A and B are shown apart, each in its own frame.
Chain A
Amino acid sequence: MSAVPLGRRGSPVDNQSVRRHRPDYWLVILALFLVVVGLTVVYAISPALAATSGGSGAHYVSRQLIAIGLSIAAFSVTSRVPLRTWQRWQMPLLVAAGLATLVALVMPVNALYPQHRWIRLGGLSLQSVEILKFALIVSVASFLARQAASGQLNNVQRTMKPLAYMLLAVTFVVAAPDKLHGQSDLGSFAVILAMIGAMVIVIGLPMRRILLAGSILALLVTFVIVISPYRRERVTTFAHPNCLTSGGYQACQALIAVGSGGISGLGLGRSVQAYGYLPEAQNDSIFAIYAEKFGFIGVMVLLGLFVALFARLRLIIERTSDVFSRLVVVGILAWLSTQMIINVGAMIGLLPLKGITLPFVSYGGTSVLFVGAALGLVFQISHYTSFSARNVQKGGGQRTMNQPHVFSPASGRSGGTRRRPCSSVYSRYTFSQELPPGIRRNDLRLTERMHEVDSP
C-alpha cells in the first residue's frame, strides 16, 4: 500500500484507478421527466399566454424545444469533455463568465425588464448569471481541490482571502441593486452562496470559520435588503400578501393557484390563473400553475422527482473519490436544490418572491441550457463512482471499512458481464504513513478517501 499523490493517479480524470463504468442513467431519466413536465405545462398554457401576453401559442413551445435541444447539446459536450480539461480551463471559463456579466451590466436595458441581467443578441437573450454559476462551480471546486491538495485549505492568506474577495466581487455584481449598477438578483446570489457554502463545508473547512463568514454575509444581505426599496417591499408583502398591491399581487395569485388546485388539480388544460392572473406563469411561477393543474398529488410527484434526482446526486457525491469531481457535484446539487427551494418556497408562500426559475421545468433558455451543461458534468463523473467513500462511513451497511467488497448476485444491480459502478475493490487509506510535509491531519480527513489503494 502506498500513498498516491493527490489529483494524480487517484483522480478519475485520468481514469487509472477507477475504471470507467456504466454511468448513472437515472440522472438523465429523472431530468428528462422534469423537462417533459415543464414542456407539457408550457404547451398547455401557451393558448393562455398567447391570449394575454401576446405572441402565438406555438412561440413558447418552439422556443422551449430549441432550448431543450441546446441543453442536450451542452449536456453531451460537458459529459464528454474530460473533467481534467474543465479543471485546466477553469480560469478562462471564469474570465469568460466575468466578461459575460460585464456585457450584461453595460447592455442597454429593455423597458419591460429594467435590470441588467441579460445579454441580448438579436432575438436571443442570455441570463449572464447562469453562465457565472456554471463557471463558479468549476472554478471554486478546482481552487478548493488544489488548496486541499497542497494542504493550504486552512491557510487564511492562501485560501480564505481569495474566496472572500471572490465572494465580494460576486456580491457587487449580482446582489447589488440597480442604482449601484448591479444585477439586483438576490435569488441568484443566494444560489451562488449556497453553492460555494456547500463546497467549503463539504471539503472540510472548519465550521467555526464558515459560521463566521455566514454571519458576516447575513449582515450584508440584510443591509442590501434595507437599502433597496423594492426588496423591502417584497419582504413586507411576503409578511402580508395582498392581491391589490403591485408587490403582493404575484405572491397572492401564486397562493390562489396552488390552493385552488386541490387534491387532484383542475386538469392539464384547465388552468385559469395562467390566463393573465399569475404573472410569469410559464417561467418563475410555473410551479404554481403546475400545482393548479395537477393538485396535491401532482405536486407530490414533482417533489418526488426532485428528491429522486437529488438523491442520485448525493449518491454520486458519496461515491466519488476525486476531490474536484466531488466538489463539482456538491456545487451542482447546491445550485439545483437551492434554486428549487427558493422558487417553490416563494410559490407556496414560505419565502419571499425572487425572480428565479425552477430548474429543468421553467420556461427560459439560459436556465435550461446551463442546467443541462451542469448535469453533463455530473453524468461524466457518474462514470467513475466507487463505493470507497461510502464504505468509509461507519455503519454504512453490511460491509465493513476494510473489508474487500465482493458483489454478490443478490446485491448487484445486474448480473452479466457489464461493468458495474463499483468495479474495484478498495480499502481505506490509513494514517499509518508519514504525512507529506505541510499537510495536517485535519486536511487529510477528506482527501484520504480520494486515494484508492490497489487491491491487496
Chain B
Amino acid sequence: MDQQPASVIDPVQRVRIWYALLLLVFGIFAVRVFYLQVIRYDYYKKAALSDQLKQYTVPAERGIITASLGGSSVPIVMNEKLYTLYADPTVVKNAEHVAAKLQPIIGGDAGAITKQLKTSDTRYVILKKKLTPAQSDKILAFKFPGVGTEEQDYRTYPQGTLASQLLGFVDNSGQGQYGVEQALNKQLQGKPGQLKAVTDINGIPLAASANNISTQPVKGDSIDLTIDVGMQAGLEKIIKAAQEQNKSQDVSAVVMDVRTGAIKAMANYPTYDPSDYQDVSDGSLFQNIAVTDPIEPGSITKLFTTAASLQKGVITPTTSFYDPGSWTIDGSKVSDVEEDHSTGQQTILSTLDKSLNTGATWMLMQLGDGRIDAQARSILYDYFSNHFMLGQATGVEQGNGEEASGYLPKPTDTGAGIDLTYANISFGQAYTATALQMVSALSSILNGGTYYQPQLVDQITDGNGTVTKVAPRVVKSNVISTQVSNDIISLMEQNNTNHIAEGFPYLNFGPNYAVGGKTGTAEIANPLGGYYSDRVNGTYMGFVGGNTPEYAIVVYNLQPTKYKGFAGAETGQPVFANIAHMLINDFGVTPKAK
C-alpha cells in the first residue's frame, strides 16, 4: 500500500477540513445571529425605534386676524404654508451631485450647499427656508436619500404693513411676538396635535404600525379686531405725512369709539413690514409706542384738571379769575409759555384757549385751600389716578408686559417741590401717560363718565366656528357727572371755534358736526435734569361727533423739528384736523339732529 509521508495531509482530507471550517463559520454565524436577534433583541428593538419612531408636534393652524372693512370682516393676517428644506448628512449620497441639482431651485452657491450636505456629526441641516410648494415638489421629485422638506406655517399680511405694530408678528418657533399676536398667542395658537409614528428615513410615516399614535391639532381661534381697516389705513397715511412734514422722531395717534372704548385705529410712524420682521435691525420699531412709550403729555392735561375742578364744584365753566402772570411755588416761578401773555382777568375757556399754565395751577389751588396743599394734591391725584386711570396700564390686548403704566407722582411723596410737581401735573408736565391712556381717559369724560377698558378685540371665533363677542368692559362708571361731561364737551367745542378764528381755518367742520379739542406743547425731560430747551412734543386731544361725541382722538407728534409757532398747534392740531375730516368724510360720523 501507499506509504504517505506523515507530515502531508491527504488532499481529500484537505477538502474535508476546509468544509469543516466552513461549517464552523456557519456555527459562529448562527451563534452570533442568536445573540443579536434573541439575546440582544430588546436593545436593538429600542435602537431601531429610536431611529424609526419619530414624535412630532403637529402645529395647529394658527387663527387668523380680521378687522372690519365697510361693515364686514376682512382678514388682515393669514397663514401660508411654506417649506423648509433640510438634509440628513449621514444619509445623503454624493453631496456634489445633490447640491448641483438643488442649486438651480433654491439658489445660492452649490459649493456652500455641498459643504452643508457634508456636515459631520449631525443628522439635520437646514438648507433653505420659505420654499413654495412648487419648489418643494420639485426637490422631492429627485428622491434624494436624506433630503426632505418640512411644511411650516408663515403669516401673510394681505394689507401689507397695515397695523403692523399693534398686530405684532409670529417668530420662527410659532410664537407671537409683540402686539395682538403675543397678547393672544395662546388663543391664536390653538392646541398642537401629537404624532408618533414609525417613519421612513425622510420622516414620512409608514402605514399602520402599533407604535403610531396621533392626536389631531385643534385649530387656533380667529380674532376679529375692533380696528376699522379703512380708518386705520387713512390714519397711517395721515401720520406718515405728518412725520415726514414735521421731520418728527415719531408720530402716534389713536382713534377710540367713546361709547365702547373700542380702538378703531391706532398707529405710529415709522413702522415696519411684519412679513420681513427678520430684516428689522432696530428692535424699537416693533413697539406700538402709543401703548409702550409714555411721555409728559403737556397742556392737553388741562382738560383733566378742568374736569376735576368742575366735578369738585370749585369752578364753573364761566368762572373768571385774576391771573397774576406767574405763580411762585416751592420757590420756583410757574409762568406761561406764551411770552406776550399779560396779567389780568382770565376765564376757564381762555385758560384752555391760550393754554395758560397759570390758569391750570389756579384751578389746582381752588381744589385746596386757595393754594396747593395736601388736599389739592390728593384730589387731583384721586381724579387722575382713580377716575382717569392714569399711572396704570389699561390692560389692552397688546404684548405681554409691553404696555407702559406711565408715572404719576403720589401726592404724599415727600421731599422738596411736591407742590411744584403738582402744579406741573395740572398743566401736563411732571407725569407721563401713553397716547392710549390719554384717549381712554378723554373718552370717559366725553361719554358722560364711563371709563371703558380700551379694547382691540371685537370677537373671537373658535375652531368650531363658535363666535364669542367681547363686550365693552366698564372699568369705572361715574368718572365725572354728565353735567361736567357736557361742560367739557362745550368748552372743547368753543375752544375749537376760537381756534378757527385765530387762524386755523382747517378746524372748521361746518355746522352739522361737533368737534372740539385741546393742544399741548409738552416739554421733554432731560435725563440729566431739567427740560430740554430745544425739543418738545406736539400733542393734541379732541373729539368728533354730532349731538354727542363719537370718536376721541389723541395725537402725539414726538419731537417734531420742522414747524413754526407752538408744537401743539402746529404739529398736533393739524394731524387731529386731518383725522377729524377723514372721520367725518369717510366714516359716517352721525351729524347733529336738525
Contact = CB atoms under 8 A, between A and B. Distances in A.
A263 interface: yes
19 contacts: A53-B145, A111-B94, A243-B51, A246-B89, A255-B44, A258-B33, A259-B36, A275-B201, A276-B91, A277-B51, A299-B30, A303-B33, A310-B22, A311-B19, A330-B15, A341-B25, A350-B29, A393-B13, A442-B8
Interface residues of A, number: 65
Given A259-B37, A445-B2, A445-B11, A52 B201 contact: yes
B89 to A, nearest CB: 8
Contacts, number: 167
A318 B15 contact: yes
B41 interface: yes
Interface in A29-85: 48, 51-54
B32 A392 contact: no
B37 A296 contact: yes
Contacts of A311: 19
B340 to A, nearest CB: 83
Contact of B30 (A206, A272, A300): A300
A276 B37 contact: no
A299 B97 contact: no
Contacts of A406: none
Interface string B133-177: 000000000110110000000000000000000000000000000
Contact of B14 (A202, A295, A303, A442): A202
Contacts of A291: 33, 37
A139 to B, nearest CB: 20
Nearest to A260: B48
A407 interface: no
A178 to B, nearest CB: 15
Contacts of A51: 143, 200, 204
A272 B38 CA distance: 19
Most buried by A among B18, B33, B206: B33
B2 A337 contact: no
Main secondary structure of the interface of B (DSSP, over half): helix
Interface in B1-45: 1-2, 4-5, 8-16, 18-19, 22-23, 25-26, 28-30, 32-34, 36-38, 40-41, 43-45
B243 to A, nearest CB: 55
Contacts of B121: 244-245
Those 8 A-B pairs whose CB atoms lie nearest each other, nearest first: A259-B44, A276-B201, A275-B200, A54-B143, A260-B48, A296-B37, A204-B11, A446-B11
Nearest to B9: A207
A198 interface: yes
Interface in B369-390: none
B201 A277 contact: yes
Given A277-B201, A446-B12, 18 more contacts: A202-B14, A202-B15, A203-B11, A204-B14, A244-B90, A245-B120, A255-B36, A255-B44, A260-B47, A262-B38, A272-B48, A272-B206, A273-B48, A291-B37, A295-B37, A303-B33, A317-B15, A350-B28
A138 B511 CA distance: 116
B38 A263 contact: yes
A422 interface: no
Is chain A's binding surface mostly helix, strand, loop or mixed?
Answer: helix
B123 interface: yes
Contact of A348 (B2, B29, B43, B96): B29
Contact of A314 (B19, B44, B48, B52): B19
A203 B81 CA distance: 72
Contacts of B93: 112, 279
Contacts of B204: 51
Contacts of A261: 37
B67 interface: no
B94 to A, nearest CB: 5
B488 interface: no
A345 interface: yes
Contacts of A53: 143, 145
A137 interface: no
